Amino acid sequence: MALTKTTINDKIEVINNGSWSSVQVRTATIINEDGTEISRNFHRHVVMPDADLTAEDADVSAICTPVFTDAVKAAYAAHLAAQAE
């Protein structure tokens, strides 16, 4: 009996929040036994425009980089400033 564990980003979505966008990532952890999937669990996290992308996988960074333009980053910063008031 051989068990294998694989982790993949199986869904990456750009979420429009009005004047700025975020990226939602769903990661699947898959357990296989002798080539047959016996378990799949999901974890989600959201990447915000001010995030450090060096901690993200290459596929996530490849989507975030063009989405998080200077205009999006500025709009997100303005949103945060408005929330702090």
The pLDDT of residue 85: 86
Write out the residue range of the structural domain in which residue 34 sits: 3-84
Distance separating alpha carbons of residues 85 and 78, to the nearest angstrom: 11
Residue 5 near residue 29 (C-beta atoms within 8 A): yes
| pLDDT tops 90 at residue 1 | no
Q: What is the pLDDT of residues 21-71, one digit of tens each?
A: 999 999 999 999 999 999 999 999 999 999 999 999 999 999 999 999 999
What is the number of domains present in the chain?
1
Q: Which residues pair with 41 in a beta bridge?
A: 29
Helix (H), strand (E) at residue 82: helix 70-84
The pLDDT of residue 38: 96
Q: Which residues make Cβ contacts (< 8 Å) with residue 71, sequence separation at least 6? A: none
**The whole model's pTM is what?**
0.88
